[in-house]
Amino acid sequence: LIYVQEISPAPAVEAAMASKFVSLSDPLSVGDAIEARFGGGPDFHSGKVAAVNGDGTYAIDYSDGDKEPAVKRLRIRRLGQVPPETLVQGMRCEARHGGGMQCFDGVISQANSDGTFDVDYDDGDREQGVPAELIYVQEIDAVAAAAEVAMASAAEKEPELVGGDTIEARFGGGPDFHSGKVAVVNGDGTYAIDYSDGDKEPAVKRLRIRRPGQDTP
């Protein structure tokens, strides 16, 4: 039960990733039909945006008559959006610390081989081995999620990349490709990418990378 907004653990990179991921989820407007996790619970409930608050939260009027005055963006999805195919290091999230019911803001600091995740919380706490079902992240368009599955299949057939290769990659797992170069080939099959705009990512999956001019599946 982890809800995330994609960012990097490093503060400077975190701001850049958050900006690019917001472009994926896009700011909401008054009157938008949405679904939100009432009270930070695991289930989504239909409603509409009643007000856009100055702190980046939203007032929500739910279809069943309930209201919330300040709901975080990562607790809200547009109709038809779905969870990301996978959780990755650097994603902004909410997690149920210690398996409790209350969610705390943080960042996924590591994806473990056993399918769990380490979370660095905003309040300074750290937690290792958090199950995916305790982590909540920003929902994404179903089209983007389906494209990632298709790209995973296509990536298996692609030649391996090497350091210095010019590429385009989906920064933070978002839907848009950004130009850059392969900086390092990691031992786990991911790649460190240096983007043309100065951003960096230390571990990008092959399925999120394409060569210039390559069509998306």
| Cα–Cα dist 107/79, whole Å | 25
Q: Which helix (H) or strand (E) segment is 50 a member of?
A: strand 44-52
- The DSSP 8-state label assigned to residue 150 in this structure reads H
Give me the sheet containing 166-170, strands edge to edge: 200-204, 191-195, 177-185, 166-170, 209-210
The candidate with the shortest Cα–Cα distance to 40, out of 98, 118, 102, 131, is 102
**φ/ψ bin of 39: left (φ > 0), alpha (ψ from -120 to 50), beta (otherwise):** left
- pLDDT exceeds 50 at position 51: yes
Query: Is the alpha carbon torsion for 43, 74, 175, 127 positive or negative?
Result: negative
Tokens for 41, please give them: 């619970």
Res 7: pLDDT: 33
Per-residue confidence (pLDDT) for residue 125, from 0 to 100: 94
What is the chain's mean pLDDT, rounded? Answer: 81
Q: Of 26-30, 92-96, 180-184, 203-207, give the range with the top mean pLDDT.
A: 180-184
The pLDDT-based confidence of 17 (bands split at 50, 70, 90) is very low
pLDDT, tens digit, 9 for 90 and up, residues 62-93: 999 999 999 999 899 999 888 877 787 788 89
Above 70 in pLDDT, residue 4?
A: no
How far apart are the C-alpha atoms of 20 and 77, rounded to whole Å? Answer: 17
Give the per-residue pLDDT at 8.
34
User: What is the tens place of the pLDDT at every residue in 116-173?
Assistant: 999 999 999 999 999 999 999 887 766 565 565 555 555 555 667 899 999 999 888 7
- On the question of pLDDT at 96 being above 90, the answer is yes
